[in-house]
A = this chain, B = another copy of it.
Amino acid sequence: MASQRGEGDLTTPLEPADRERARAIPEAAVARLAVYLRVLSGMADQGVTTVSSEELSTAAGVNSAKLRKDLSYIGSYGTRGVGYDVEVLVSHIERILGLTRKHSVAVVGIGNLGHALANYGGFPGRGFPVTALFDVDDDLVGVPVGGIPVNHIEDIQRVCAEREVSIGVIATPPPAAQGVCDRLVSAGVQCILNFAPVVLQVPDNVEVRKVDLAVEMQILSFHVARRADEAANDLVNGIGVDGMVIRP
């Protein structure tokens, strides 16, 4: 079933079978594949060559059925009765995730967060070199952050084209986000990671992912409240905070 071909090749197009498969992979599975990849890379570094679905799933924090299902979306690369070859899995996941190609990243908005992102210097996981920084503040323009000089937002289009930026990261204050987004889009950037707490409007051909700290905190808050409430409820029903039945 496997389509053999040189691994690590920079511009390998997917085979027709892989192509249909990629279309069908659920978004949730894609996110988990990235996690499996990280765990597998760690294992490879430690000299592990083979892993079972049980081991890998535990390390990745999911159950083994889900892991096997996820892996089945990208093909059948395991050996029954044995498990998976770590290196083989790594390269197949990398290929499916498009990591055989470098994705140049631009960070817009060099405030606290922008600084932090720029200084990661080649985003977590490698394969995502930060090649351009932008800000509106003239005092910042020209100053190198994480080794890269800041450009003025006006120059987004030119600089993004020159450096073949494929991913734009928005780390601006909320009011500026939509404007920056529009510029990135008109510069041909089709993938955006948005840290600004704003719902971005983009054309259909642009992919946006958002990281929203306020929302994350509020989800946690919801769970605190729910738990506190359940505890109160349980007490009323005669169950102690430790789960012990004190009034059966």
Which A residues form the contact surface with B (CB < 8 A)?
13-14, 19, 22-23, 25, 27, 30-31, 33-35, 37-39, 59-61, 96-99, 101, 103, 105, 111-113, 115-116, 119-120, 123-125, 127-128, 166-167, 190-191, 193, 197, 199, 201, 205, 207, 209, 211-230, 232-233
Contacts and interface: CB of A to CB of B under 8 A. Distances in A.
Copies in the complex: 2
B116 A225 contact: no
Contacts of A61: 199, 201
A230 B13 CA distance: 10
The DSSP consensus for interface residues of chain A is: helix
Nearest to A167: B220
21 contacts: A30-B218, A30-B222, A31-B219, A34-B215, A34-B218, A38-B214, A60-B199, A61-B201, A97-B221, A97-B222, A98-B224, A103-B220, A112-B115, A112-B116, A112-B120, A116-B116, A125-B214, A127-B221, A128-B217, A193-B213, A209-B220
